Amino acid sequence: MPEPTALQSADALLLPRWLLPMEPAGALLTGHAVAIRSDKILDVGPTDALERRWRPRERVELPEHVLLPGLINAHTHAAMTLLRGIGDDLPLRRWLEEAIWPREAALMSEEFVYDGTLIAAAEMLRGGITTAVDMYFYPEAAARAFTTMGMRSVLGITVIDFPTPYAADADEALAKGLAVRDAWREEPLVSFLLAPHAPYSVGDAALERIATLAAQLDLPVQIHLLETAQEREESHARHGETPLERLDRLGLLGPGLVGVHAVHLTESEIALLAERGVALVHCPTSNMKLASGIAAVPQWLDAGIAVGLGTDGAASNNRLDLFQEIRHAALLAKVSQGRAEVLPAIQALELATIGAARALGLDARLGSIRPGKAADLTAVALDAVETQPCYDPCSHLVFVAGREHVSDVWVAGRRRVANGQLLLQESNSHLTALAQNWRQRIQLQTR
């Protein structure tokens, strides 16, 4: 914390009723304020001390609000928002092979990705999400869309073994993705990771290349992992080993690897992942809707695995809503373990903030409200009738409030949502018209 001798300037002083910094763990503060300057959190402390210490250009009164770190969506496919709700009531493989992949083959383009990502970013920002990890194609288009909306993104350099409109093969996808990473090196809101789609859709050669690149470039790797039981059986049949054995043989099973879904891990696999420092992302709604199963999240956490939460794409969820994922994580953990005390509210909130930041290796910059971290912040109003009365704001954030109660959102110190409305060049009506235009094209092309 700086120790100014005279009153120094801050860009804004935020004055919430409750401050939920997520570090130290479990702290819920009243009478505290947050000062921000430029893109960073400048100071956190008792309101009177901060009032004495800083001269803010703006004071933001949040008298019935909880202020918490901006939520981190640790796994999505943003552009698939244009396919929202297509192919309901199908299990994962049929959903991919019958509903999604044929449409993507016909439709995917730079324009599709840019427009779909714009709409996804609008939905996420308004719902209190300040960072998204995106696994899709045309990362340059996604980078333009996320930065246009003022949202932070971690873009996957996505690799899949069959040809797509984006790339003929894994090598082309990697080459194009790494070129985009070079071109966007100076943009602070954008970073990258390597994203092989899944063990069943990416061959040994590409996975080995990705392991090498990850080590050389110090890039994380995100991969769909054991989302269904079928994946284990197929891996045995095709490779004579489990998916984890295969990833281990190919040099990927270590820190920096982020497995997504991981519904079908054995106990010893959970222990192995913990030992290796592999992180996991839980996507509870997608796992329910596709009938993939219920992940053993409490066991992951007990083993010491870093865990984030993801919405998955809007074609399988069908909301990019982390409040929903937080609630579902808590509810599913309780009912699947048969113990109501499992995954209490504060722990569920960790999954969407500091937990996700740790899982992605971003916890030095994101995930909690501490001086020096990025000023990515979300305020939630708890004064609506349906949120009253309130005995415990943490419980309310998980079990009562929804993204509809998000009032204000800051990303890198800039307010992007105020009073529940996006502050953007891209207006709601423009985005809605864009979506409706795409719906017509998609229905025509895939009739």
Least separation in angstroms between residue 85's CB and its own copies is 5
Per-residue three-class SS string for 114-127 = HHHHHHHHHHHHHC
Name the residue nearer to its own copies (CB basis): 43 or 123: 123
Q: Which pairs count as long-range contacts for 264-268, CB under 8 Å and 24+ apart, including other chains?
A: 264/226, 264/227, 264/228, 264/229, 264/231, 264/232, 264/293, 265/226, 265/295, 265/296, 267/299
How far, in Å, CA of 215 to CA of 73, rounded?
A: 25
Tokens matching residue 410: 């800051």
Instruction: Determine phi and psi for 21, rounding to 5 degrees.
Output: -75, -20
Q: Which helix (H) or strand (E) holds 287?
A: helix 284-289
Least separation in angstroms between residue 260's CB and its own copies is 17
Name the residue nearer to its own copies (CB basis): 51 or 392: 392
Instruction: Determine phi and psi for 69, rounding to 5 degrees.
Output: -60, 145
Name the residue nearer to its own copies (CB basis): 202 or 332: 332
Name the residue nearer to its own copies (CB basis): 164 or 230: 230
Name the residue nearer to its own copies (CB basis): 180 or 309: 309
Least separation in angstroms between residue 61's CB and its own copies is 17
Name the residue nearer to its own copies (CB basis): 198 or 211: 198
Q: Give the binding site for its own copies (CB under 8 A).
A: 82, 84-86, 88-92, 95, 119, 122-123, 126-127, 285, 287-294, 317-321, 328, 330-332, 334-335, 337-342, 344-345, 383-386, 388-392, 395-396, 399-400, 402, 404, 428, 431-432, 435-436, 438-439, 442-443
Least separation in angstroms between residue 328's CB and its own copies is 8
Least separation in angstroms between residue 142's CB and its own copies is 17
Q: Is 389 exposed, middle or buried (0-12, 13-18, 19+ CB in 10 A)?
A: exposed
Name the residue nearer to its own copies (CB basis): 158 or 285: 285
Instruction: Please give the full DSSP string across 153-211, using - where no structure is assigned.
Output: EEEEEEE-SS--SS-SSHHHHHHHHHHHHHHTTT-TTEEEEEEE--GGGS-HHHHHHHH
How far, in Å, CA of 311 to CA of 324, rounded?
A: 9
Least separation in angstroms between residue 445's CB and its own copies is 13
Least separation in angstroms between residue 427's CB and its own copies is 10
